[in-house]
Structure 1
Amino acid sequence: MTKIECNNNVLMYEGILSEFYLDNEGRFTYIVLQNCYRYSMEFNSRALDLHSQLPLFKDQFNRSQIWNYLTISGENIANVLFEKVGSLDDSAEGTQVLDEAISTDQAVSRP
């Protein structure tokens, strides 16, 4: 959900989280969504009405205009909801790579 409002509607995006960055306070500096769609949510006195999913741009049906990534800067982010899709399988090789990356990162960040 963004902080962008128009006519009592808030602009929202849904997509696959590709990348994100947090500042030292834990706030989003930016997020990058892949293959995203846009929505708007209307605030009225009775309920929050979610409008239909729309392509990122209205002329997105032309194959040459498909946008793979959208970056949203932190100052425009009101809220982010992460939804787990699928599952991850543990493997000995993956655990070893992760352990090596963590030990390398800790060695580099020590004064």
Structure 2
Amino acid sequence: MELRVKNIYGKIIFDSVKENLKYINLRNAVLENANLKGVNLVNANLENANLENANLENANLENAKGLSVNNLLNKTSKVSFWALMAHILIGGAVIGLSVYTIYNTLGIIIWLMILSIK
């Protein structure tokens, strides 16, 4: 079965979750926000397909061509990555500042104790 598609949007595509799309050619298809839950995409050609925000839960993607991490990543995961990086950097700065403050305070206390001994 070969089906060449230019634009398929989430509303239109695959009302039936049990749809069998084995060997389908979805090259360059736009599957943005598509619900592909449980769809059989065994040996499907997904080369350059836009799968942004597509629901691929339980979809059978065995031997599907053109799949890579890049076309499965969506904006949310990219935002989450940078949010995590910012969180780590800010957390590290706060911890570093806290440690610096504690050591500085201890240093001042020890210095005052030394001065009070004389």
TM-score w.r.t. the length of structure 2 is 0.20
**Structure of larger gyration radius:** 2
TM-score w.r.t. the length of structure 1 is 0.21
Higher share of residues assigned strand? 1
Higher share of residues assigned helix? 2
